[in-house]
């Protein structure tokens, strides 16, 4: 039994479709920090 020659495909590093957890953390913390700064008594 013979197998065809193995030719690995080059991996194209394009923009990922999935959102990283860091993005979710920033989306939650940045508005919270802005809200706390805005509501803080001066």
Sequential pLDDT tens for the chain (42 residues): 788 888 888 776 666 667 788 999 999 999 999 999 999 877
In whole angstroms, what is the distance from residue 26 CA to residue 34 CA?
A: 12
Q: Residue 4 is encoded by which pair of tokens? A: 């065809």
pTM of the model: 0.47
pLDDT of residue 33: 94
Any domain includes 34: yes
In whole angstroms, what is the distance from residue 38 CA to residue 30 CA?
A: 12
Domain region containing 28: 16-41
* Angular region, 8: left φ>0, alpha ψ -120 to 50, beta rest: beta
If one counts the domains in the chain, the total is: 1
Any domain includes 36: yes
pLDDT of residue 14: 66
Q: Which single residue is written with the structure tokens 């080059």?
A: 10
Any domain includes 37: yes
Any domain includes 28: yes
Any domain includes 25: yes
pLDDT of residue 16: 63
Any domain includes 20: yes
pLDDT of residue 2: 86
């Amino acid at each position: 039994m013979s197998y065809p020659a193995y030719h690995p495909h080059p991996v194209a590093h394009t923009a990922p479709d999935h959102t990283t957890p860091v993005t979710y953390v920033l989306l939650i913390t940045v508005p919270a920090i802005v809200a706390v700064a805005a509501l803080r008594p001066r």
